[in-house]
Structure 1
Amino acid sequence: MTFQKINTSLVLIIFFAVQYTASTQNNTNIHFVIEETSFDRLCQSKKILTINGRFPGPTIYARAGETLALDIENKGKDNVTMFCCRGTGSRHVKFDQVEWLVEAGSKVRKNITISDDDEGTLWWHALDIWQRATVHGAFIVHPKPGTNQALPFSMPHDHVDIPIILGEWWKKDVKEIFLEYVDSGGDINSDAFTINGQPGDFYPCSNNGTFRIEVDIGKKYLLRVVNAAMSKTLYFGIARHNLTVIAMDGSPITEPFTTDYIELTIQHSIDCIFEANQQPNYYYMVDVMNISEVYDTNKITTAIIEYQGSYIPSLPPLLPLLPNFSPNYDKSSSRDYLYVIMTFVILGLFFCTTCAVWYRQTNRAHRSAMVTPM
């Protein structure tokens, strides 16, 4: 596999500048346009429903206690019901601000008031399941200025927020797929999972678009990870880097913990810190559905952590060793190993039983010799 070294610093500047255009301040309007946009994925082109022509959609940034004015214009063919910013605790926005209908060809303004004590990562999306497949994005809430922030724990003020949206891609028309799903009652299986809209290096025609993050050694980064997949629990990890979980579904947790990987159930979000504390190299982020399956690079969705500096990177980048998910893992060899262990156990039991029988027979003969008259 050949990787083309590009100016990733410029890419990151552009990426975060685009994200910032969706940022909000008090009484600042956010403008969303629902429209069909053509995308090239997996060696073919197709149109999908998007917000502002982006997949995933723009990240909204807000502060606790803030009221946002969201203008939505629907240039699509179908009505779209939008759903926004309500976590599992149901405290992030008022009930009458959670969902609203935007009819085809119309415009709607919605004011969204964030609770004073909110902080963390939520997400917005279309309510209909086939539209939600491509119409979604992160909603990041920062603390009020001057307040004692609970999130992120021990993070420097100059840390970088990085939204990570775990989604899916279908080669066929998404609406047709979900109509077939309703008729058949079968499962909803996509052709690839995505990280920020990209399947990654191991999928055909995807290498050039693989999502990358350039990092400085010693610096901490806050990943805002959202599972936007339709019906799948997903597992996420970074090669040779731990993740410190500090919040879930827009709420800080009382006891942060460090782990090799995180598990995200359907429509949930996790805030986690990773520190760029490894040898400068390229490292894969990995998004998989089942970490217990045999290692199969044809089913792995990847992004790349790229350290700044002069060095010769590993090609391909290093993969994380998730449980039962390494190049050396093989179910057949595991079974063989189990058979060997069981064989030794059986032989050991046979040897012990034989020794016990021999001992009893020898001891009985010895006692008989002692009581025999001379």
Structure 2
Amino acid sequence: MAAGVWRFEWANATGSKWHLPLVDEATVKFRLSQAGSAELKVPMDSAAGRQIAKSDSVSDGWGYVLVYRNDTLMQVLETEVTEVGVRDGEGVPVIGISATESPYQRMDGVIIEPTKPYLFPTTAGQIGTRLKTLIDANTSWGITCATPGTTVSVDPSVFEQGITLLAFIQAWAFRASGFDFRFNPEFTVSGAGYGSTGQFYCASTIGEIKLNAKFEFGAGSKANLSAYSWKRFGGQHLCNIAAVPSNGTSGGNAVGLKTAADVTSVATYGIRWRWITADFEDATLRQNLADDHVAFRKNPRRVLSITPMPETTPTAFVDYSVGDIVPVSITDAGLSVINGNVRIYGISVTIDKNGMEKIELETSPETA
């Protein structure tokens, strides 16, 4: 698909915007329950380039990158690094921009309770509903919250003082009984107050089963993949005994330690004991964390990266998106590498200087 449907804008801290003309390639990554990112270069001799390169204010080189597809806002990022003085292949000065999805940056900058351990929720209930109440009550955090999908009911838990909003949400989300989350992009920064750069949404599962969005390599009628990479991650990923300490707050770790193990994994791979630190005290929550590390890490993780051919179907963000489950069939050198469903955890879009986009999908069969 031609990349003319993609458009980039720069916005400063007060919300003023400038078009970002691209030099060479730009890459934008969309992820499930993790921050998206972007890498791009723009001419220094452009309205946006001159604004970014100015030296009369410390904030000039910092700003937001707004990513549009077909004039629909797809992602709001903020700069990690702007590099002035880079040259392109012809020696023309350009500005390099590295950016990370803004709501994650904002969440990582919010400490929920700096003075004492934090109890949440105060009464049992669906975690998504309780999080919405919390976010709605704190407009200065710079994010909003959509009505959540169905999530599990949780009991009150105690978290350590000083925990950030991002670590707090991840503590609930990254459990077998947790949830998926994303930020629906929005941009209301205007210089008057904090505005919002994303709308938090969570559900037990985000995405759908898209059986018509089929990808094939080496065999089959579609043959719509140009490349694939099939990896298995062992090493530090492997964990068949997990220990989560109490951080010294419940009579020492000998008293507060919570552990989990998988004897089948130990028999297969040997002992892979991991010490998992946590930002919360609650014993039940720490036991859940130990259980979940073993559940997800007792075997090597399999990751399949696939590259669809340009201008073929299915189409990213139309026929499938992050979180969806799609069928994949790969036959190579006479061997059936994979034939089944995979879940899409990430979509990487590379837009070249000729206006073409290249899609790469990061998938895994483990939870499909």
Task: Answer yes or no: same fold by TM over 0.5.
Answer: no
- Given the two structures, how large is their TM-score scaled by the length of structure 2? 0.20
Larger radius of gyration between Structure 1 and Structure 2: 1
Q: Which has the higher contact order (CA 8 A, sep 6+)?
A: 2
